[in-house]
Structure formats: C-alpha cells, structure tokens
Amino acid sequence: MKSALRALALSLALGYAHGAPASPDDRRVTEIASELRCLVCQNESIAASRADLAVDLRGQIRQQLDAGRTEAEILAYMEARYGDFILYRPRLKAATLLLWFGPAALLAAGLAALALTLRRRRARRDRPALTPQQRQAANALLGIEAEKGSGS
C-alpha cells in the first residue's frame, strides 16, 4: 500500500514539474500569436519570442479573447496598429505585391540571365576559328612573320 501511494505521489509530482496542461485559452493565444511576427526579433513569432513587447502583445491577445473578439478581429486589430509587417502571411494587396511576387520575379530574372549567358557562351564556342587566309592577313597586319617550316 505504501509503495502504491509513493508511486502515485511521485507521478503527481512529476506531472506538476512539467507544468499544468495548457488551457484552451492558452492554446488560442499561442495559435494567434504564432501568426504574428515579433517586431523586436523580426525572425520569431510573438508566441516564440521572449521580448518584452512580445509578452505585452500576448497579453493584449488574451484580453481581446476575454472580451469576445474572434481571431480574425484580433489579427485585423494588430495589422491596423502595427502594419502589414506584423503578419507572417500578409494579405494580397497593392502594397504587398512585392512581398508575394518579388521572390518569383527574382528567380525568373536569374534564370533568364543564366539562359542568356549560356546561349552567348555556346555561340562563342561554336564560332569557327580563323581560316588560314584570315590568320595570314592578321599576322601581316601585326607584323608577325610566318613561322618557318609551317605549311602556310
């Protein structure tokens, strides 16, 4: 009996050591915060960041959830307050066209430049060498005498 109680106490202690399970509200805050970029860190979401601003923004998200706002309303509020940059996936509009299509345009331009360079290289390689008459004329212009013993 004592060993069963000890095992139960140990399992409870280990369970609390890992932290209490997240409440549904905590999960919703984390889900919404993972959609928003930390304005301090810029490469982390608000959910992952430990910056003071990120902590404050998570608190604002929690307050807005408690006030009954939906995820879309919270994201719209954050976007209106902090701009498109706060969203990891900004909406498609005129101001964000470069964000959405810029990488594809750069890739296309790079591939076009590569194709043009390869085509020019191939054209230079396929160009015929000088004929013996052209070589002789060039040597004469440069003042180079023909090598002795050559069949030209």
pLDDT in tens, 60-119: 999 999 999 999 999 999 999 998 888 888 778 887 788 789 999 999 999 999 999 999
120 and 86, same structural domain? no
Give mean pLDDT, residues 25-48: 89
Q: Are residues 83 and 53 in the same domain?
A: yes
CB contact set of 116 (below 8 Å; sequence gap of 6+) = none
**Structural domain span for residue 126:** 111-142
Last residue of a domain, one of 91, 119, 134: 91
pLDDT of 149:
43
14 domain residue, yes or no: no
- Based on the fold, state whether residues 64 and 27 are members of the same structural domain: yes
Q: Is 101 within a domain?
A: no
Is residue 67 domain-shared with residue 30, that is, in the same domain?
Answer: yes
- What are the backbone dihedrals phi and psi of residue 65, each rounded to the nearest 5 degrees, phi first? -65, -40
**Phi, psi angles (nearest 5°) of residue 87:** -85, 130
What is the b/e burial string over 106-123, where b = at least 16 CB atoms within 10 angstroms of the residue's CB?
eeeeeeeeeeeeeeeeee
Q: Which has more confidence, 132 or 30? A: 30
Distance CA(147)–CA(41), nearest Å, equals 72
Number of domain units in the chain: 2
Q: Are residues 40 and 80 in the same domain?
A: yes
Rounded to an integer, what distance in angstroms lies between the CA atom of residue 150 and that of residue 152? 6
Is 12 a member of any domain? Answer: no
Residue 83 lies inside a defined structural domain of this protein: yes
Three-state secondary structure of 66-134: HCCCCHHHHHHHHHHHHCHHHECCCCCCHHHHHHHHHHHHHHHHHHHHHHHHHHHHHHHHHCCCCCHHH
Q: Please report whether residue 9 resides in a domain.
A: no
Whether 118 and 82 map to the same domain: the answer is: no
The answer as to whether 117 is a domain residue is yes
Q: Which residues are CB-neighbours of 47 under 8 A, at least 6 positions away? A: 29, 30, 33, 34, 36, 58
Whether 26 and 82 map to the same domain: the answer is yes
| Cβ-contact 89, 35 below 8 angstroms | yes
